[in-house]
Each structure stands twice: as structure tokens, then as C-alpha cells.
Chains A and B, each alone.
Chain A
């Protein structure tokens, strides 16, 4: 670890407790953070935009936005940051930790809710607690954004159909004049129930010190 540590060790300990990562994992992520930020203390959106591999990702903007979203910091604030520090970076990453063999059922439930909440926040861009039809349409459009004109035209229909499905399953008996305002968090949890988020939404965080061969700038 030749580089000078920008944080003393005790602060890592806080992070271990706050995010659930191991010390090794935090060190590795810190290295990556420094890489991204150019050895500064904070990273901004431009730093993340510059990652070349992200260019092919259709939902790049949403992902980057999620890092700067205050709601993902386990607090109650709304809005977004301009630049985030390492702590905030870690908090966002902690959403992607996998369950271990020792995770109890309650912990798994809590984990699932946290992950689903993360997804919800990604969709609910205006922060009103509901995913409206416009926002959902935007999601599907972004998903199909790399697929040309066919994608754009169908996106609307797909979003409408999906919204309808959510409404039908959650509020089956609506009168002809009622209006379904948007997908609330509970409804959102309901539709994703089948996907078992706690087992699917995770990535592998490196434990040991990484060989530089497998990392990229």
C-alpha cells in the first residue's frame, strides 16, 4: 500500500461498522476511490463519467446519479450532493454486499429492503416517494436507449403496460375515475418480490490486496 493514507486507521474502523465491509475491502475501495478522484478527497460526477467502460451502459446517468443521491446515505435527507467523499462512496457501495452464511432471516429481510429502496430511489428521481408514469417511462426509455428508434417507440408501450400491471396487482378495484398516482415503495417491493433481491443484487468485493493486472483505471 505505498501511498500515504489520507485517513487514519480508526476512521476505517468506523466505516467498517457503518457499512459492514471488512478492513481489506475498505482499503481496496479506498485505492479505487483515489484512482477515480485523482488523489483528491472528493469525486464529482465528471470523475465517474470518465470511466470508459461505463460509456456502453444505457443507464449510466442513473447509476452516477445514485452515488450523489442523499437518500442513499441511510439518512433522511433529500436532494443530491455536488461531490462526495469516501464515506458516501462506501455507503452507496454497501448496498451491494451479498448475504453471508451467517446472515439471519431478519437481516436478510432488512438487506432486501435496503436494496429495493436503493432501486426505488434510482427510479424516483423527484423524490416524492412515488414512481410516476413519467418516471417509469423514463426508466424504460433509458434501458432501451442504446437500441435505436425501435427502442424509443416501444418504450412507451412497455412502460404503460408495466405500470398497468403494477396497478392491477396492487389496487385491483379501481373505479373508472380513480387515478393511480404512482408506484409507492410498498407496491414496488411487491412487484420485485419474486426476484429475491438479497441474492441477486450484489457484486463481488475483493478481499485480498488486488494484483494490479486485474484492475483498470
Chain B
């Protein structure tokens, strides 16, 4: 899920760049090492003497007036915090860059391992510079700043369909599995502590159970980091990943439960019962909070059509508020985030502009990438810092027990689950699920949160936790990839979703619902269908703006696909690369039946009778997406950022231009096929039709049948995003700021077609040069697909 930065150039350049990069890294690390102690050293002074300094300086200034005015002065304290943060982030990114410049490394060792090693190095350096390392991974920073972006990224792009289909299994693993792990590990550790031979371990049952609950939870950050690189099939990925997300509720409850009771010293049945109720409240409450904020975000996005630029902000802020609100009530913040992202996504995506969508995607990926990198580095640093108390028995027992309990848990649960699943989990699947149960920074932070005074054995716990984390991340993380290859586990299919697959997925859904109805029992499909209908009838109309609320899923998918094709065409440099998506010579006329309706001439059979209907649709689309107001933009500032109103129009126009060029070229080749000379003013319907059918050879149908033609003019020339398509041609409409409008067809000269088109394309390509993040098909899924 994290974007990969491709190495720049493999051949000659690669020799020098890694060296440069490594040099840069070394310098930066040294800088960090020297600056941080400086900062840390001045910390005690800053807080207490900051005021004194300043006042002293003022006084000093008035006293020592004879001293020369300092031309250059150094004041670190005032920028200390942001400076250090930026330095860490920079380090993180340079590390990431460095790993990818060394071509072999990222294939063998997962990034998370490398980052921890870097953290260790940096921590070591800092420790060399001074005696102790400033605590960087404090729990507050972790839970409020570093964790939410990762979880939001996961939740927003969560593939809903496989998640829902496997929800029962995931919940079993998350809830029952984590409970099992916690009690097994905690209980057996306590038993070990009771053995008289063990040295000096006097840990009560409840602290042991607390430790068990901390260590038993599979960590989403680590799972994401490792699984992202091994590309296993969707089912396994969603099982392990879903489990890591949903077990947060269990962890929260168990943690607080045992923390409370460890102080008291005993627990009764009533407390256990209350614990169960608490779990339900934590889990469901978290989801509820998330859903509420998600709906709020979706509702807000309905009204943002005039201020497109702040749309991404709504997504982020509402989600973060959901997280904080849930944390406020001690509910599961992670589940709130997931619920918020998953709930708001289908509606928000229907409402926001394409650019906002890209922005959200990019920002989420970027933030989650930073967070993940920082988390692993800090983990390394915190390891060096300590405080450590090494106890061989405890640590090794922990590691072994964790592994054993995970295996037993997975096998046992799968045995039960397979009775209810239709597509059973094989042994290979079980192995991967068990092996993929990685622990990570959440466990460490939870351990860190323990109060030193109440828990004297905190250091032992921390050491053990770190050891387990290191073991899982390094050993399991590094070996899972070869194991996946060895066991020939099914990998993820990289194929893009095609329109045929979409049609048949929908068809299958309805078919299975129908068969269930005929069979007579309320199955999984029945409820899904009911929810879909409810969603379509009530919710969509409320949350989605305009016409899109009534748009069926299939059509939405189709439009999205067309849009993607259009963008692809623009970016691939013009009409000459038209065939890139579908390298074939098949065109519409190959599939049209030969006995077409009589009025069309043989050459024109290529155009299906789409005009009226398509035109209506295009009008609708353009209407909902175009801003009718005039766009006069003299200067480029954030407030008048030209957004998407023209975007759709531009794209449409580009498509038309592309088509026309291609068409003209082909026409020149087949000179005798033309019935009408190439016109610049084709109805968008026909162009759209052509796009829809990806034609190679077409003739132009004269605009007959009174089909009104929509002409879309772009914004006035001052707009930064406008393209001066018509300025050389004496278009009458340009003298006033017409902006976007729809006129009926006017006569144009067709002389300017080719030359202008090429130039315009270049301009347009520059405008729309953002290629967007790597094609992630996850986002294409509509609500409850």
C-alpha cells in the first residue's frame, strides 16, 4: 500500500548515486547525533530559564549598549522542537530513499527491519554523544500523531467486499484469538514464575495477565509493513490485516481491565462480566463514533462544490476527530478510525472532485509512510535507550509462548471456523495466518504507558516486549517472503478490473440473491441486497449531491473507467498512443451486426444509435460538474484555485481532440472513405461514443437529426488552468469572460484542427501532469460491491 520510489537509473548512474546517498545519510546521522544532544542538553535550561534568558538579554542589551550589534547570532531554543521534528522526518525519508537506491537490499530485507536497524544506529550514536537518549517514542506522540495516519490510510482504502465477506472469520480471530493468546501467555508465564528454580521473578498473576494482553495483539503497522511486500492473495491479506485492526478493542479492554485490577490485586466474576460488557461497549461504541463522524463528513462533502480546495481537509479532520473522540471515552480509537474511513468513502468520493480525490490519496499515503518509517526508527532508538532488565527465563519463555499460543490459537480456531465457512481455510492458509501474527510498536507503547511505581517489573516487561517485537519483525518478517514462495501460496492478482468483470460481479450478486430467494432462506446475499437497496433508496440521496445519487453502480464504474482511459490517453502523449490500453485493431464496426438500421450508410454503421441518449447523459454529467459562474482569474492564489469545474470539460475536450486527430490521420490514409470532411465541431456525443468504443477507423456522421451540439468553451485566457484553445481563431466568444458555457453549435473553420490540437495538447498535458499515485484498484470498489 505504500508507494515505492523507483531507483532513478540502474545502469551507470547507480554507482555514484548510492555512494552519494550514503554519504549524505552519514552526514545527516552525524548531524542528528550532534544536534540532539545539544537540544537535549539545553532542554532543562530552556524551560526554566527561558524567561530569565530573555529578560536577561533585554537587560543586557540596555546595559551593554557599547557592545556591537550582533550581525549573526545563534538561537537554537526557539526553533528546537520543529527543527528536531523536521530533522527526524528528513532522516526517515532519506533512509527510505537510500534503501531503494541499493537495488538488492529491499528485495531481501523488509523495510521495517532496515528502519529498526537505522534507529538502533542513530540511538547508538546519540548515546555515544551523551549518556542518555531523549525519549522520542513517548506514548502520547505515538498514539496521537504517529498511529492515526496509518490506521486512517488502512481504513479509507479498506477493500470492503472481502472484508465483509470474511467478517465472521476475522472477528473470531481478533476476539477469541487475542483472548486466547492473552490468557495462555499470561497464565503460563505466571506458572513459570511460580517454579522455585527461576531466579528472582516475583510477578503476580494479574501483572502476568496484563503482560499477556499487551503482547498478544497482532500489530497492524508491522503487518502492513511486511505484508505489503509479499503480495499474497487477497483473502489471507484481509484475514491477517483485519484481525490486526479489530483486535484493538480487545486489547484496550484487557489492558485497562488488568491495569485496574492489578492495583487492586484480585478479580471477581462480576468484574469478568463487566469486562465482557465493557468489550462490547468499547468495540461497538468505537464503530458508532466512527460511523457518526463518517456520515458527518459525507454530509459536509455534499456542500463543498464551491470550495474544492478544502475538501481533503474534511476527510482528515473528521477522521481524526473520530479517533480523538473515541479515545476520550476510552473506546477503541482504531475501530473508530476504520469505521469512519470506510463509511465515508463511497459518499465522499461521489461528491468530491478528482483532484481532491488524488490529494486525499496522496496525503494519506504520504503521512502513513512517514509515520511508519518514524515508528520503526523510534523503536530502534528506544531500544538503545532502555531501560532494560534482561531476564533470560522470562524473555525466552515469552518468545516461545507467543509462538506456540499463536499456532495453537490459529489451528484451533480454524477448525471451528471451517465448519461455518463455505470456502475453507487450508493448512497452508493457516500457516501463513499464524506466521503473519507480528507484534509491533503498539505493544511497546502500551508497555511504556505502564506506571513505573505500580509496576516494578515494567523494565522486564519492556525488554521482553522489545525482544518479541524484534523477533517477529526480523525473523518472521524476513523469512515470510521465501516461505510464501516455497509453499506456493497464491499471490495477489494484479489484473485490472474490467467492465466485463464488473458486469458479471453484479450479475452474480443478483443471481445468487435470486437463488437464495427461491431456495427460501435468508442468506448472506439476501441481507446484502437489502442493505444495498436501503442504501440506494435513502442514504445516497441524502449524502450525495446532485445527479450522482441516483447513478447505479455499474454506470458509476463505467464512467470511472472512461475517465481513467481518458486521463491515460492524455498522459500517454496524444492520440498516437491510442492503442496502448487495448492493443488490437478491433473497433466498433467489428462487433456491430451487419444488418444495421437502414438509414445509416454502410460506412456509418460504426456509429451506434447513441446520439440522443448519450448526449443527454453527457449533458447531465457536464452540468453536474461544470461551474456555471464566470471564471476570471487574474492571479494565482489559493483562494481562487481553479478546480475541477473545467477539469471535466477539459478532459472531454481533450478526448475530442484526440479522437479528431486520430480520425484525421486515419482519414488521410483512407482518402476515399470520407463522406464529410473532418469537422472540428462534432457533437460530444459522437466523440464520446467513439471513446467508449475505442475505435480506430471511423467516419464522421454529419450532424443530422437535429441533435443539439454542446460546445464547451474553457475559461478565459487569464485562468491558469485554461488552455488557449481558440484564441487564434477569432472565436467570437472570447472577448468577454464567458467561462464555461454551453452554446449551440456554431460554424467553425476546420483549418485549425491539427496544428492547434498538438499545441493545445502540450499545454494541457502540462496542466494535468500529475500522474497520480500508482494505480490502486482497491479504491474502485463501490459501496458494498
Contact = CB atoms under 8 A, between A and B. Distances in A.
Contacts of A100: 424
Interface in A187-206: 191-192, 194-195, 199-206
A139 interface: yes
A185 to B, nearest CB: 14
B580 interface: no
A143 B697 CA distance: 31
Given A51-B517, A161-B499, A162-B499, A203 B512 contact: yes
B551 interface: yes
B613 A57 contact: no
A13 interface: no
B591 A172 contact: no
Interface in B577-610: 582-594, 608, 610
Given A156-B610, A158-B503, A176-B587, A53 B517 contact: yes
Contacts of A24: none
B265 interface: no
Contacts of A163: 591
Interface in A55-80: 56-60, 62-63, 67
B19 interface: no
B306 interface: no
B232 to A, nearest CB: 15
A200 B584 contact: no
Given A165-B498, A172-B585, A101 B424 contact: yes
A172 B514 contact: no
Contacts of A175: 585
A200 B424 CA distance: 12
Contacts of B503: 139-140, 143, 158, 162
A1 interface: no
A57 B514 contact: yes
Given A32-B519, A164-B693, A195 B504 contact: yes
Contacts of A48: 518
B372 interface: no
Contacts of A174: 584-586, 590
Given A179-B590, A203-B515, A157 B614 contact: yes
B418 interface: yes
Interface residues of B, number: 68
Nearest to B583: A172
Given A60-B514, A133-B592, A175-B585, A158 B519 contact: no
Most buried by B among A99, A157, A172, A202: A157
Contacts of B521: 204, 206, 210, 214-216
Interface string A113-147: 00000010010000000001110000110011001
A86 to B, nearest CB: 14
A98 B499 contact: no
Contact of A164 (B529, B558, B583, B591): B591
Given A158-B503, A199-B423, A216 B520 contact: yes
Contacts of A119: 504, 507-508, 511
B512 A160 contact: no
A173 interface: yes
A133 B499 CA distance: 15
Contact of A93 (B508, B515, B529): B515
Interface in B511-564: 511-526, 529, 533, 550-552, 554-555, 558
B671 interface: no
Contacts of A156: 608, 610, 613
A208 interface: no
Interface in B473-530: 493, 495, 498-501, 503-508, 510-526, 529
Contacts of A144: 552, 554-555
A161 B504 contact: no
A54 B518 contact: yes
Contacts of A54: 514, 517-518
By Cβ-Cβ distance, the 6 closest A-B pairs, closest first, are A153-B613, A172-B584, A53-B517, A168-B584, A147-B552, A63-B514
Interface of A: 29, 32, 35-36, 48, 51, 53-54, 56-60, 62-63, 67, 93, 96, 98-101, 119, 122, 132-134, 139-140, 143-144, 147-148, 150-154, 156-158, 160-169, 171-176, 178-180, 191-192, 194-195, 199-206, 210, 214-217
28 contacts: A35-B520, A53-B526, A59-B514, A96-B515, A98-B423, A100-B424, A139-B507, A143-B510, A147-B552, A150-B617, A157-B610, A161-B693, A165-B499, A165-B582, A168-B586, A172-B585, A174-B586, A176-B590, A180-B586, A191-B500, A192-B501, A202-B512, A203-B516, A204-B422, A214-B521, A214-B522, A215-B521, A216-B522
